[in-house]
Amino acid sequence: MANDCDDSFGPFATNCTAHRFDFTLKFEQSILTIAPCALFLTCAIARLGLLLRESPKVKRQSWYHAKTVAYACFIALQLTSLVLWSKKTRLSGSVSVAAAVLTFVDSIALAVLGVLEFSRSVRPPTIILVYLVFSTAFDSAQCRTLWLIGERVAASVYTAGLAAKLLILLLELQEKRSFLLPPWNRLNPESTGSIINRSLFWWLNRLLIRGFRATLSGQSLYDTDAALKSRRLLSKIQDARRSWATPKFRLMQRHRLLFALLDSIRQSLILAALPRIFCIGFKFAQPFLLKRVVNYVANEKDHDPEKSTGFALVGATALVYISLAISKGFYQHQLFRSLTMVRGALVSLVYSHTLSAPAISSSADATPRAPNSASLTLIGPDAAAITSALEAIHEIWANPIEIILAIWLLSRELGPGSVGPMGPAMKDWTVAIQARISLTSAVLTHVQESKMLGTIPYWLDHISELRVFELHKSKKFRTFIAYMNMLGNAPTALSPIVTFGIALAVQSKSGDQLDLTTAFTSLSIIGLIVAPLSHLLYAVPLFASCLGSFDRINSFITDHNKSDQTKTLTRSDNPGELSDIGLSILSPRSGQHAIEATQVSFRVPGQNEPILKDLTFSVKHDSLTVVTGLIGSGKSMLLLGLLGELDTSGDLRLSSSSVSYCSQQTWLVKDSIKRNVVGPETSDVDEDWYKTVTKACALTRDIEMLPLKDLTNALNLSGGQKQRVALARALYARRRILIADDVFASLDPDTRHHVWSQVFGPAGLLRRIGCTTILATHLLEYAEDVDQIIILDQGRITHQGPSAVVQNAAIARKAVKTAESLGSSDFTGCIEGENTTITKPQPKDEDEQEAEDLATTSDSSLYLFYFQSIGLKFGLAVICLAIIPVFLSQFTQIWLKWWTESSTESSNNGMYYGVYTALLCVHILTIGIDCWFMFVNVIPRSAIWLHRKLLETTLRAPMLFFHRMDTGDLINRFTQDMTLVDRELPTAMYTTLSAFLACIGEFILIMIGSKYLAAALPVALIILLASQSATIQATS
């Protein structure tokens, strides 16, 4: 029978005639029914408006009809419930009828929204699933109440409605990936997964199982989410930079890149902030729960024969910590999506400006350097520093909120009396890293020459010295990290000291004693204060330290903007249609000359002295001009100047911006031969023109002899083949002007003759399409086919004119002699390289080789190798220093327990408090010493050893290794991998060791305090280790 208390709000039904452990019916109907229903209706209306503008995305399925039947039954049951509540007089009231009406309206809205969500959404409906999960739990409480008060008819209908709601929940959980229409059927599992799937990360299980069974490759990973793709991120950050460059933001120009970056990912940052707020709520539910549990165990346990309160506390504990885990999972998922966007946007921004930057510039000491030396550091250590700093961006606003709430809770518990240069260092370290990477990149790019000249030992020592200097520069930053770590842990020790000291002073006047419940509840609340305070003390300086990296990236972007004289290399407006031989003349030109230079001087950006002086020459349309001279005379610099890569003075005019360039040092991407020639997969392929170009460059025979034909990885070719692929790419572009730099240096005589006759000769491809060509070369044996020869010497033009006139000059004869001497030594090696490359088996792909290497290398051997870099003596010292603070941390809790269990005489408080204070102070000091020893002494020693091993192994590897391995992959070992070794690995090892030792300490405490809980710990430990082992093996 119903009780009078059910007409009251309650919320607990403690004053009922028949006592029951329950909520009142009015509370359940108003708070647990009306509130969720109203919120769902509000969200459903907004969602319906969005879905009506979407197109259908799925094919009809048979179980769609089952869902329709389930919704119809649910609406009928809600209508029946409404009729029952409207007729009953004893339980009916304004709240009951309103709840029944709102539930019936909700059922209709649920059905309509479910139909539209099924057909017009790629994933199960999030709004419906969230509503069903919470309303099912709330309805279970009301259903229990109806059965307890004896309302069998209403309870039966309510139970049937609850069963229908559970059935709908199961049906809506079914994902639609298998019957989505194109192109939505190609989305990754995260994009098509339900909210339950994503909250528990079930969509990763298949990938983890696959990684546990075999080594994952790039092709086995899921497609990148559209929001994380670089093209979109680059467009958004460029738009944001333009917006923040307006005059209204002039006061923020110094940090414009930072604000633009945050503006470009603001939606992702907001999505991460919402679960962070839920984390705060569930975190601060813990002290209330702890106090209730301690009070129940101490005072109420014997007065609860049915254990209802005990079981409720168990359920509340599970609810709090499961909810905290799920909300933290959502938060970290969205946070790392934001960090991925940060990295993608910054790397894309640097990459796009690297492509438009001058090919050569000068450093601070006026030494010419390529822009990629700076960009390698910017996309490596600088981008890593920024992402690491922004990882704590939400802590900056969340931690003050947590501190304020925790202080308020502590004042409630103990009374009002209880409330009481990284940037420059990081920048210096990064500059030192850039110096090492620049030299390493240059040596690896020309490692063959270094091996032949015998300079490997010199470069090995020189680069190692730069590494030592770099780590010496890092010690200032590392010392600051140790200081911040000690400072961040200081509140953990100082807060209990101050809090308990003030509390003892206040309670000594009132005569109260510090009991067990108050002590450990207060300690829990103190933990809620010091944890965010420690994070805040660490997060703010770390965030400030990344400003130096932002300045470096912003300076790079600003300083490397091309001048107005820079020529934009665009595709020809009219590439022409193929004639009967697959060719056509390019569109007519205006004027007599394609290039005119009058008193032109070129200099490297950043330098004052020109390297080419007072050049005056002209190049006619459709002609072939050869630029020659001794080594170091400036041939390559002249070509770069014509491309607009050097600072220019004088009068230089190009009739067209449609220019293609073939460098002396070939640049190919890690893709097939065909894609290197015709461009990325998004571009259209002219098959006839592609075949014509590859045949003219003598690639047809080589391609036919390769197992994968033109799908072979271009990086696995020989030097001569790579050069011809690069030349074919320049020809395929069909630009009006072709600039080529010494493209014959790696070709044997027969191939050289073929390429000359088919490409550059009188009947060659370039003459037939009317392309103006400037060729820098030592080769003058085909001088009679050349329209003009320009001879350079010491940065000036000494001779120019038709080949018959220039060949008689003494400098020309000297150049020919030099070319012959170079050719006799170069071409022999080239012939051998060409033949061996064609006849030998195709090398394995780098991903396959890396997979084999990982398969044969165990994790234990990797750990042993890392600890070998530390050394036995330093390793034992690290372990000993790590044990001391962990022991002190655990012993302070034992001492606090002894204190609260001591005699009630206040005379002992002074002794216990003094020892407690001393233990915590020594604990903080040992943390600082441990962190300083680890980061300032051990880590640099290990980093030097690892870098030396890597450098020795790389530079002393056989030539075949460099032929098989992409230079970019090798440079990545010294940039990205060394960054992980220097920054991520030490922190991970330090925190892992500290956490492992802390777990041992906690385990010992639990064994002492609770035998039954200690017996369950090994089982939990085995489950944890098994899951961690599977995850680590899959992700490694």
Q: Give the residue from 356, 371, 406 where a domain finishes.
A: 356
Which of 757 and 558 is assigned the larger pLDDT? 757
Q: Give the residue from 322, 356, 390 where a domain finishes.
A: 356
- Domain harbouring 743, CATH code: 3.40.50.300
Angle at 289 between CA 287 and CA 293, to 5 degrees: 115
Q: Is 721 domain-assigned?
A: yes
pLDDT at 848 over 60: no
Which DSSP state fits 584?
-
Same domain, 504 and 375: yes
Q: Of the given ranges (132-141, 426-435, 623-632, 689-698), which has the lowest mean pLDDT?
A: 426-435
Tell me the average pLDDT across 485-497.
65
Quick: pLDDT tens for 800-824: 888 766 655 545 555 544 544 444 3
Residue 834 is predicted with a pLDDT of 41
Categorise residue 679: left if φ over 0, alpha if ψ from -120 to 50, beta otherwise.
left
Confidence of residue 411 (pLDDT cuts 50, 70, 90): low
Q: Is 697 domain-assigned?
A: yes
Question: Which residues have C-beta within 8 Å of that of residue 753, sequence separation ≥ 6?
Answer: none
pLDDT at 76 over 90: yes
Residue 518 is predicted with a pLDDT of 61
Residue 684 is predicted with a pLDDT of 74
Quick: pLDDT tens for 440-454: 777 777 676 677 667
Question: Which residues have C-beta within 8 Å of that of residue 741, sequence separation ≥ 6?
Answer: 635, 636, 639, 661, 662, 663, 664, 776
Residue 992 is predicted with a pLDDT of 81
Residue 64: CB atoms within 10 A of its CB come to: 15
Both tokens assigned to 547? 């400003």
Residue 707 is predicted with a pLDDT of 85
Residue 487 is predicted with a pLDDT of 64
Both tokens assigned to 753? 């003759």
- What is the Cα–Cα distance from 810 to 833, expressed in whole angstroms? 34
Quick: pLDDT tens for 898-950: 776 665 555 577 777 788 788 888 888 888 888 888 888 888 888 888 888 88
- What is the Cα–Cα distance from 395 to 393, expressed in whole angstroms? 5
Residue 512 is predicted with a pLDDT of 55
Tell me the average pLDDT across 1011-1032.
71
Tell me the average pLDDT across 450-461.
76
Per-chain mean pLDDT for the chain: 76
* β-strand pairing of 368-369 with 593-603: unpaired
Residue 802 is predicted with a pLDDT of 81
Which of 639 and 218 is assigned the larger pLDDT? 639
- What is the Cα–Cα distance from 588 to 993, expressed in whole angstroms? 73
Q: Is 650 domain-assigned?
A: no
Q: Of the given ranges (144-153, 415-424, 592-601, 987-996), which has the lowest mean pLDDT?
A: 415-424
Residue 72 is predicted with a pLDDT of 92
Longest dimension (CA), the chain: 123
Q: Is 218 domain-assigned?
A: no
Residue 442 is predicted with a pLDDT of 73
Same domain, 274 and 150: no
Sign of CA dihedral 739, 743, 749, 752: negative
Same domain, 895 and 829: no
pTM score: 0.67
Same domain, 928 and 1028: yes
Confidence of residue 1032 (pLDDT cuts 50, 70, 90): low
Same domain, 831 and 903: no
Same domain, 827 and 873: no
Quick: pLDDT tens for 672-718: 888 888 887 656 788 888 888 888 888 888 888 888 888 888 877 87
| Phi, psi for residue 601 in degrees, rounded to 5 | -125, 145
Same domain, 554 and 484: yes
The winner for highest mean pLDDT among 715-719, 734-738, 781-785 is 734-738
Same domain, 306 and 330: yes
Residue 700 is predicted with a pLDDT of 87
Residue 576 is predicted with a pLDDT of 35
Q: Of the given ranges (193-197, 208-212, 385-389, 427-431), which has the lowest mean pLDDT?
A: 427-431
Q: Give the residue from 356, 388, 421 where a domain finishes.
A: 356
Confidence of residue 577 (pLDDT cuts 50, 70, 90): very low
Q: Of the given ranges (411-425, 750-764, 876-890), which has the lowest mean pLDDT?
A: 411-425
Same domain, 748 and 831: yes
Q: Is 493 domain-assigned?
A: yes
- What is the Cα–Cα distance from 696 to 767, expressed in whole angstroms? 13
Q: Is 241 domain-assigned?
A: no
Residue 779: CB atoms within 10 A of its CB come to: 23
Per the structure, the complete domain to which residue 781 belongs is given by 620-633+658-789+798-845
Quick: pLDDT tens for 210-254: 877 777 777 777 888 888 888 899 999 988 888 888 877 777 777
pLDDT at 108 over 90: yes
pLDDT at 269 over 50: yes
Same domain, 9 and 126: yes
Closest CA to 822 of 941, 666, 664: 664
pLDDT at 578 over 50: no
Residue 311: CB atoms within 10 A of its CB come to: 12
At 681, the amino acid letter reads E
Angle at 739 between CA 735 and CA 742, to 5 degrees: 140
Confidence of residue 841 (pLDDT cuts 50, 70, 90): very low
Which of 61 and 166 is assigned the larger pLDDT? 166
Sign of CA dihedral 890, 891, 892, 898: positive
Q: Is 422 domain-assigned?
A: yes
Tell me the average pLDDT across 520-528.
61
Same domain, 994 and 887: yes
Tell me the average pLDDT across 262-279.
90
Same domain, 37 and 162: yes
Q: Mapping DSSP to helix (H, G, I), strand (E, B) and coil, where does residue 797 land?
A: strand
Tally of domains in the chain: 4
Residue 341 is predicted with a pLDDT of 92
Residue 293 is predicted with a pLDDT of 79
Which of 999 and 413 is assigned the larger pLDDT? 999
Residue 562 is predicted with a pLDDT of 44
Quick: pLDDT tens for 129-147: 999 999 998 888 888 888 8
Distance of CA 288 to the CA centre of its chain: 38
pLDDT at 360 over 70: no
| Phi, psi for residue 905 in degrees, rounded to 5 | -75, 130
Q: Mapping DSSP to helix (H, G, I), strand (E, B) and coil, where does residue 194 land?
A: coil
Residue 829: CB atoms within 10 A of its CB come to: 15
Q: Is 370 domain-assigned?
A: yes
Question: In 127-146, which positions are buried (b, 16+ CB within 10 angstroms) versus exposed (e)?
Answer: bbbbbbeebeebbeebbbbb
